[in-house]
Amino acid sequence: MAHAYLFSGPRGSGKTSAAKIFARCMNCERGPTAEPDNTCAACVAMLEGTALDVLEIDAASNRGIDEIRSLRDAVKFPPSVMRKKIYIIDEAHMLTKEGANAFLKTLEEPPEHALFILATTEPERLPITILSRCQRYAFRRIAIPVMIERMREIAAAEKIAVEESALAAIAYRADGGLRDALTMLEQAAAYGDGRVDAAAIESAFGSNGREMALRLRDDVLRRDAGAMLRTIEEASDAGIEPATLLRALLGAMRNLLVARIDPDLLARDSAPEDAAEASARAQEIESTTVLPLLRVLTDAATLARGGDARLELEAALLRFVLAGEAANGSAARPPAAPARTAVPPPRPAPARASAPRAAAPRAAEPRDVERRAEPPAISAAPPEPPPKRSGPLTLKAIEAAWPAIRGRLVAAERPLQAALDDSRVLAFDGTTLVIAVAGQTALARFNERASAKVKAAVAEFLEADLNVRAEIAALPDEAEPMTNDDADSLLDYAIERTREP
């Protein structure tokens, strides 16, 4: 047996309870034994909390050097009646640095009769010198089915009438902590006058958004925008925070993917009936439907942290649903005649697609008159995919795309904002894109955090594998005006990009 143990793990996973059981194993009259009899004088005293030789110390309130010195002095005295003098130190990570240093010598060379059991939810906060002197045991979150079964046993023993749906609702709220689950079961039994159902759980603890998230999931997968907005409205009226609903919807979509990949893994995280429902629903959809939805929901969750969560949720879901409708509608419509044909640009630029483009009326220019004079080419055959860029990228096209590239990067990762603030396109030689930043600090941040991500974003937006580097350059007082030729070239490139699948 070791002289010191460290039990670490999430709250409510049984660390302190296991420490007390371990103390009985060590001090039982039949012990040391793995199965204390719980009937001898030592076990009864420990069960009743009257044992003088088993001391439970709360490190959150006894964390200073003076308290640890008192403990160090008391350790020297042998146990009064039991085999071992056992110290259970709860929330051990709350010890101050001075207190931990004072405790270290005692922990390193304790008396033969002393045994220490440290319990903590944050072992990383303990000094490595203490960690290295303990046998470590990691406690884990308790699986949902295990918690449901344990609560069912306790409810039967206590003669509490409880529905299966209520047990599942409690287990989801407990998030792997059985202590929290048992506390909620007790409260719900008192609240429901001895009978616990899902409605009692909702009334006692509020809604966690799970049922609404499942409804919203089905609305989105059916691409029913009206039902989707009504579900969000009902959730809001029921007091469910939009951020909570968004997280619950993300969890529901994640469960669909897990059900397709590994149903056994989903069974650990869900109640049996919920795992079966998700597995059946997952067989009705394709992963290619869920993945884009997960992407837009993740973006919405990122933006919702600093803004209007409901607005971000509705915008993300509408973007997904209406984009699918637009894609299906465009596939069903016959091809239309192009509104304008390609005209050779005055300098190398991307070739124009032969697709229709709706534009607002504006005053006619000679270039427009010349284009209108050309008869449109009408064909009954389906339009071919737009041609790829035939000429090199222009500096002006990259400059126009840079705000969108920068905005996408900052929205995805907020820390990149400091690296990309006041940045602009400085130069482009056909293979290397030079980004101007203002100052040495900005240059260091760009090279450390943003260089690779900018390169990937440029490749995505501009479909060109460019080298990217940053240089320090002063910001211009006034941007160079864009000429008509530059604008026309940029418009050609934008049309081509929007028509690509």
CATH of the domain at 84: 3.40.50.300
Query: How far apart are the C-alpha atoms of 387 and 57, rounded to whole Å?
Result: 74
Please tell me whether residues 131 and 113 are part of one structural domain: yes
Same domain, 321 and 215: yes
Residue 406 has pLDDT above 50, yes or no: yes
In a domain, 483, yes or no: yes
Asked whether residue 76 is assigned to any structural domain, the reply reads yes
- Whole-number Å distance between alpha carbons of 160 and 94: 38
In terms of Cα–Cα distance, which of 482, 272, 474, 312 is closest to 394?
A: 482
Residues 97 and 191 in one domain: no
Write the CATH number for 197: 1.10.8.60
- For residues 341 and 354, is the Cβ–Cβ distance under 8 A? yes
Q: Is residue 341 part of a domain?
A: no
CATH number for the domain including 464?
A: 3.30.300.180
Number of domains making up the chain: 4
SS3 per-residue string spanning 314-350:
HHHHHHHHHHHHHHHHHHHCCCCCCCCCCCCCCCCCC
Domain edge (last residue) among 138, 167, 190: 138
Domain assignment of residue 265, given as a range: 210-329
Q: Is residue 113 part of a domain?
A: yes
Same domain membership, residue 283 and residue 238: yes
pLDDT tens digit sequence for 419-433: 787 788 888 888 888
User: Are residues 112 and 157 both part of a single domain?
Assistant: no
User: Does residue 389 fall inside a structural domain?
Assistant: no
Judgement on whether residues 465 and 486 belong to the same structural domain of the protein:
yes
The residues with which 118 forms a beta bridge, in sequence order, are: 6, 89
Number of other CB atoms surrounding residue 274 within 10 Å:
20
Domain end position, chosen among 178, 205, 232: 205
| Domain assignment of residue 408, yes or no | yes
Each residue's pLDDT tens digit, 294-353: 888 888 888 877 778 888 888 889 888 887 555 555 444 444 444 443 444 444 444 444
Q: Is the dihedral of CA 119, 125, 127, 131 positive or negative?
A: positive
DSSP string covering 393-441 = PPHHHHHHHHHHHHHHHHHH-TTHHHHHTT-EEEEE-SSEEEEEESSHH
By the 10 Å C-beta count (0-12 exposed, 13-18 middle, 19+ buried), 410 is classed as: middle
Same domain for 183 and 118? no
The pLDDT of residue 26:
92
Name the domain boundary from 88, 119, 138: 138
Token representation of residue 153 = 């046993």
Q: Is the pTM of this model over 0.85?
A: no
The pLDDT score that the predictor gives to residue 100 is 85
Q: Is the pLDDT of residue 483 over 60?
A: no
Q: What is the pLDDT of residue 273?
A: 82
Structural domain includes residue 73 = yes
Element (H, E) at 471: strand 467-472
Domain identity same for 33 and 97: yes
From the list 209, 297, 214, 219, the residue with the least C-alpha distance to 245 is 209
Same structural domain for residues 11 and 120?
yes
Q: In this predicted model, what pLDDT tens digit does every residue of 214-252 receive, in sequence order?
A: 889 989 988 888 899 999 998 888 888 888 889 889 988
Based on the fold, state whether residues 318 and 236 are members of the same structural domain.
Answer: yes
Residue 360 Cα distances to 299, 330, 341, 372, 401, angstroms: 32, 22, 17, 15, 22
User: Same domain for 489 and 441?
Assistant: yes
86's enclosing H/E stretch is strand 85-90
Q: 316 in a domain, yes or no?
A: yes
